[in-house]
Amino acid sequence: MALSTTGTTKVTAIAGDGIGPEVMEATKAVLAAAGARIEWEDMMAGAEAFKKGIQSGTPRETIDSIERTGLALKGPLETPVGYGERSANVSLRKHFELYANIRPVRELPGIRTPFSGRGIDMVVVRENVEDLYAGIEYMQTPGVAECLKLISDPGSERILRFAFALAQAEGRSKLACSTKANIMKLTEGMMKRVFERISGDYPSIAPSHLIVDNCAHQMVIAPEQFDVVVMTNMNGDILSDLAAGLVGGLGVAPSSNIGDKAAMFEAVHGSAPQIAGKNLANPTALLLSAVMLLRHIGDFAAAEKVEQSIYVTLTEGKNLTGDIAAKGTGVGTDKYVAQLIENLGRKSDKPSRDYAPISVPAWSPEQGVVAAKTKEVVGVDLFIDSALGPQAVGDKLQAAVQGSAFSLLTVANRGVQVWPPVGGHTFCVDHYRARLMLAAPIGATEGQAQIADLLGRIPEGMSWMHLEKLMRFDGKDAFSKLAGE
């Protein structure tokens, strides 16, 4: 974060698309009135950038500004339909390695929901850069698509340590890690194992683990039980929206994206093009995101002042925007902002939490490598495109690899063994996985000739499109097994 000579903090402001400019203007006005010492660097991203042909949706000057300030407050950015290629939001998160997505979910006074009065006050921490969102997808046959789910040990440790640090900074006592480790033992299981490995470092925080489908269920039947919940990227994406719905929905949901080099704060909602430019937009979500920004830069007094003004205004229900006002009483964005400014300095019955700065050490490049004393190859999984039936695939392949370094162990179709047949009722598609084992393990960098020989033996009626080595690290098999294998 960049402190200027005048004692103010420089923050890049990206107003964004649709209602973005209106909610950004509103937010800046309330922050200025609250005495927040922020110097804005106004930058552009989103639809305008895509229209100019900038494929990432983010101009170089905007990236440079965030490089300088280390901080951004961002309005919603339209995801292009029909032009450009990627989401500017995702580009920014990936460029700055904003690995932690933070979504506070706190019951707001005056916002009635079926869960009002339950005292919901949790934070959902979502890993923001790994998992299926790496965007590594392939059509393996004309009818079968693949997406790689990449979860790393350092990536898991980084987000988990962040979640523990956040729990400590907010004076919370519990951290639940929610995964699908019962099914995806290596990927989702990675986060669970790392959680178990490091949780002892945080004795003031009670750790627990729950399976993610149960987490969804628990969030709906007893959401008040949660304090901080941490998840891998896709689980966190889905459950953080669910959690936001418990306290009033996306229109009032703030978020932040934190990395070692930068932090970006944004409302969860989109650009709401239907109401853009009509003085109807509710700026509460961006304002609450700005409250998170103020706490991030250590301006706890201004943060509390703005948060309390929002609470007072929502409680009294006077001059609210149409989406949250009592029927027929809605006012324009400008009047709501004027009311918020008038209420600055007042205290609501709902106190703000006591926050302290979050302390998370930056990660060094060396921490990206997990060493093993031994790395061996014990076989390969060969992914095969074939219109043949499972018996023919297994029999032909078995005959073809006779005399090679490999022997055929099993053939599976979407994870289910179909050769040797086990009597199941598997509906087979044209995408098989043949597991071929070496007679004895070889070194990780050896075996190129044997693999080339194997690939040359693939019989007619089959083609291979993906080969995965079956590794053994420090004597432990590092791949999933078929049932009974």
Residues that bind ligand NAP (CB under 6 A): 19, 23, 76-79, 89, 250-251, 266, 269-272, 274-275, 281-282, 285, 323
Q: Which residue is nearest to ligand NAP (CB)?
A: 270
Q: Is 320 helix (H, G, I), strand (E, B) or coil?
A: coil
Q: Quote the CA–CA distance of 444 and 75 in Å, as a whole number.
A: 48
- DSSP line for 221-288: H-GGG-SEEEE-HHHHHHHHHHHHHHTT-GGG-EEEEE-SS-EEEEESS---GGGTTTT----HHHHH
Residue 437 β-bridge partners: 379, 407
Min CB(83)–ligand NAP separation in Å: 12
Which residue lies nearer to ligand NAP by CB, 141 or 255? 255
Note if 133 is an active site residue: yes
Kindly name the residue from 17, 227, 237, 381 that is annotated as catalytic: 237
Which residue lies nearer to ligand NAP by CB, 170 or 266? 266
44 burial type by CB count under 10 A (0-12 exposed, 13-18 middle, 19+ buried):
middle
Q: Quote the CA–CA distance of 374 and 298 in Å, as a whole number.
A: 46
Note if 121 is an active site residue: no
Note if 213 is an active site residue: yes
Amino acid symbol at 253: A
Kindly name the residue from 180, 227, 311, 385 that is annotated as catalytic: 180
Contact 268, 255 (CB under 8 A): yes
Which residue lies nearer to ligand NAP by CB, 274 or 448? 274
Which residue lies nearer to ligand NAP by CB, 270 or 379? 270
Which residue lies nearer to ligand NAP by CB, 266 or 299? 266
Separation in Å, CA 122 to CA 126, 178, 223, 245, 247: 13, 14, 8, 13, 11
Residue 194 β-bridge partners: none
Locate 198 and state its tokens: 């490091």
Min CB(395)–ligand NAP separation in Å: 50
Which residue lies nearer to ligand NAP by CB, 317 or 420? 317
Kindly name the residue from 17, 99, 131, 133 that is annotated as catalytic: 133
Contact 45, 14 (CB under 8 A): yes
Min CB(94)–ligand NAP separation in Å: 14
Note if 381 is an active site residue: no
Locate 37 and state its tokens: 């010492």
Report the half-sphere exposure of 483 (CA within 13 A, side-chain side): 10
Min CB(51)–ligand NAP separation in Å: 14
Kindly name the residue from 42, 64, 213, 477 that is annotated as catalytic: 213
Min CB(276)–ligand NAP separation in Å: 9
Min CB(241)–ligand NAP separation in Å: 10
Residue 480: Cβ within 10 Å count = 14
Pairing relation of β-strands 38-43 and 9-14?
parallel
Residue numbers annotated as active site: 133, 180, 213, 237
